[in-house]
Amino acid sequence: MTSKQKKAAACVIAAAIAAPAEGLRQHWYYCPAGIVSVCYGDTKNVDKTKTYSPEECLTRLNGEMLLAVKAVEACAGGELTINQTAAFADLVYNVGPAVVCDTAKSTLARKLMAGDAGGACNQIPRWDKARVAGITVALPGLTKRRGIERDLCLTPDLIQEALQ
């Protein structure tokens, strides 16, 4: 499997987690953390005067997810499976690249850099909190999403195994 195919597979899997977790909103809105968002939780370049088509939203999701996959690949210390890349990419899409890249602030990032992908997978559930009205709280939707990401992260890749 080529690097390009691996990236594409990870993007598709990660987007399949993000889309139902975020839901489609074609007008801007504030997420629970108070961040202006649109479409599938996209926070980049949101035009508050625009109604986005489903196709535009899907294009935004795919573009941002590819950037998330690239961030994971750039910061991960070892060779990750497609499932691991997808799980970490959805996490990056949702909370930003510091979770996988900033070893000063993230145990998950330290484990990734050390080549301990399994240990990093087990850190995913810790990232289920957001600041709401000035208080850091666990959000049920994030707790569920982090569980899905962790389970995916710890599951062997069927795609890679089938191609070998």
153 labelled catalytic: no
**Residue whose entry in the numeric block shows the structure tokens 């990093």:** 120
Model pLDDT, residue 43: 95
| CA–CA gap between residue 24 and residue 70 (Å, rounded) | 24
Secondary structure (H, E, C), 26-75: EEEEECCCCCEEEECCECCCCCCCCCCCHHHHHHHHHHHHHHHHHHHHHH
Residue 97's SS3 state is coil
pLDDT in tens for each of the 164 residues of the chain?
Answer: 788 999 999 999 999 999 999 999 999 999 888 899 999 999 999 999 999 999 999 999 999 999 999 999 999 966 899 999 999 999 999 999 999 999 999 999 999 999 999 999 999 999 999 888 889 999 999 999 999 999 999 999 876 666 55
CATH of the domain at 138: 1.10.530.40
Q: Which candidate, 87, 47, 46, 43, places its Cα nearest to that of 69?
A: 87
Q: From the candidates 22, 64, 73, 149, which is the catalytic residue?
A: 22
Instruction: Find the domain containing 125 and state its range.
Output: 3-163
* Domains: count for the chain: 1
55 labelled catalytic: no
Q: pTM of the predicted model, to two decimals?
A: 0.93
What does 116-157 look like in DSSP terms, one character per residue? -HHHHHTTGGGG-EEEETTEEEE-HHHHHHHHHHHHHHTSPP
Q: How many other β-carbons are positioned within 10 Å of the β-carbon of residue 2? A: 7
| CA–CA gap between residue 151 and residue 164 (Å, rounded) | 23
